[in-house]
Copies of this chain bind each other. A is one copy, B any other.
């Protein structure tokens, strides 16, 4: 029985899941790949920490070189996270001819190109299915199954923490701060939730998906990011009235050779497949010229779901080793990227205002919109506290508008002018609206 030796960088949640799958599914993995998998070395921070899995003690090390430089190790599984140091480890390992399987979205979104080029050059596999949307096999779907199609749109719920928060806000009418606190207590949100709630985590995944879908090297810096901290229970209630739910979406679209790539809270229609994706689930909606609409749904995080994706990649690497075809797909980012300026992005938008409840207010607001070529699809005006507007002083009302499609720049200009109207006390929020249900 032939054995392939693998090394693990990291034995946290995902690393433990990986070790567990290797242990428990040993026989099937052998039948599917022709190899017995042996974990030869595991890099950990603290050698004395108690582990949730039984592994022979002599495989642990706190020296990365023990793993990276071990000549017997053919496949390096990187589940330690981090950027600069981890990147160095991966480069060293590829230079040793090792194949890499990583779950590190930050690293791929920022330094992907450099790593892929090196892997190509060394005929090494560099796989990262687990970096986007956990267990959902969207990377392989885009890179292989849908490779013949012309993909025009990818939209995803890519962050479980924010989806949990928005789902809870929707179900319970609760406000952001309260639900965030609850999510932190339950362990669904980090003590410092910035990366999740500000959309950075989703932006890294969106950059990776856009890169594959459009065969271009889109990086984190290309993504226009807006988080969910400004979304209130009030916005969610209006969304409901209008037939929408609010989700934090990573959106990547291609039209006329330009790539639009952004993360923002979004109104999506109730009958859109993404609208029913709740809690900690992730989903990626893909539109292709031949494919039409498709959606991939599953767990976006967690020990075993993420480990399942890592191990799917390991199986692929082993099959490549057996057929001597590592590096067979390689980097497919051959298009020059042409990222659309945020000002040129066109979408429908929702606007919520606090204004005087008196004749002429709507006339003033709609006049400004008209002057800026923004046409209005629907409008709701609700007077005072009796309608649930807690901010409303006597004689004030909330005004909610949904526009037809409008360029970002024009909408910004119009809402700025609206904010200066004497009768308008405050512009609370502007949220993009996506269309297209099933």
Using a CB-CB cutoff of 8 Å, which residues 288-309 of chain A contact chain B?
288-299, 302, 304-305, 307-309
Given A31-B334, A147-B312, A150-B28, the answer on whether A294 and B294 have CB atoms closer than 8 Å is no
Question: Is the CB–CB distance between A304 and B325 below 8 Å?
Answer: no
**Can you give 25 A-B contacts (C-beta < 8 A)?**
A21-B148, A25-B148, A25-B150, A31-B215, A31-B332, A135-B292, A140-B141, A141-B141, A145-B309, A146-B312, A147-B311, A273-B297, A276-B276, A278-B438, A288-B308, A289-B304, A290-B307, A291-B299, A291-B304, A292-B305, A295-B295, A296-B296, A322-B328, A323-B323, A324-B324
Inter-chain contacts of A278 with B (CB < 8 A): 438
A105 to nearest B CB, angstroms?
A: 17
Other-chain contact of A295, B21, B129, B145, B297 (Cβ < 8 Å):
B297
Question: Is the CB–CB distance between A305 and B323 below 8 Å?
Answer: no
Inter-chain contacts of A307 with B (CB < 8 A): 290
- Say if the beta carbon of A314 comes within 8 Å of chain B: yes
- Say if the beta carbon of A384 comes within 8 Å of chain B: no
Other-chain contact of A291, B144, B293, B298, B325 (Cβ < 8 Å):
B298
Q: In the complex, what residue of chain B is closest to A293 when comparing beta carbons?
A: B298
Q: In the complex, what residue of chain B is closest to A282 when comparing beta carbons?
A: B294
Using a CB-CB cutoff of 8 Å, which residues 236-279 of chain A contact chain B?
273, 276, 278-279
A: number of interface residues (CB 8 Å): 62
Given A135-B292, A291-B135, A295-B298, the answer on whether A21 and B149 have CB atoms closer than 8 Å is yes
Q: Is the interface of A mostly helix, strand, loop or mixed?
A: mixed
Tell me the bound Cα distance from A29 to B315 in angstroms: 26
Tell me the bound Cα distance from A140 to B328 in angstroms: 17
- Say if the beta carbon of A420 comes within 8 Å of chain B: no
Question: Is the CB–CB distance between A320 and B328 below 8 Å?
Answer: yes
Tell me the bound Cα distance from A136 to B138 in angstroms: 12
Tell me the bound Cα distance from A309 to B325 in angstroms: 23
Question: Is the CB–CB distance between B315 and A325 below 8 Å?
Answer: no
Question: Is the CB–CB distance between B329 and A319 below 8 Å?
Answer: yes
Question: Is the CB–CB distance between B308 and A146 below 8 Å?
Answer: yes
Tell me the bound Cα distance from A292 to B17 in angstroms: 13
Inter-chain contacts of A311 with B (CB < 8 A): 147-149, 290
A385 to nearest B CB, angstroms?
A: 35
Tell me the bound Cα distance from A29 to B149 in angstroms: 9
Inter-chain contacts of A145 with B (CB < 8 A): 129, 137, 140-141, 309, 312
Q: In the complex, what residue of chain B is closest to A150 when comparing beta carbons?
A: B25
Given A273-B297, A304-B290, A322-B328, the answer on whether A141 and B149 have CB atoms closer than 8 Å is no
Question: Is the CB–CB distance between A135 and B294 below 8 Å?
Answer: yes
A221 to nearest B CB, angstroms?
A: 25
- Say if the beta carbon of A281 comes within 8 Å of chain B: yes
- Say if the beta carbon of A32 comes within 8 Å of chain B: yes
- Say if the beta carbon of A316 comes within 8 Å of chain B: yes
Tell me the bound Cα distance from A21 to B148 in angstroms: 7
Given A150-B25, A438-B279, the answer on whether A292 and B297 have CB atoms closer than 8 Å is no
A10 to nearest B CB, angstroms?
A: 18
Given A140-B140, A144-B316, A147-B312, the answer on whether A298 and B304 have CB atoms closer than 8 Å is no
Inter-chain contacts of A288 with B (CB < 8 A): 308
A330 to nearest B CB, angstroms?
A: 9
Tell me the bound Cα distance from A135 to B148 in angstroms: 12
Tell me the bound Cα distance from A309 to B291 in angstroms: 8
A341 to nearest B CB, angstroms?
A: 25
Tell me the bound Cα distance from A288 to B322 in angstroms: 26
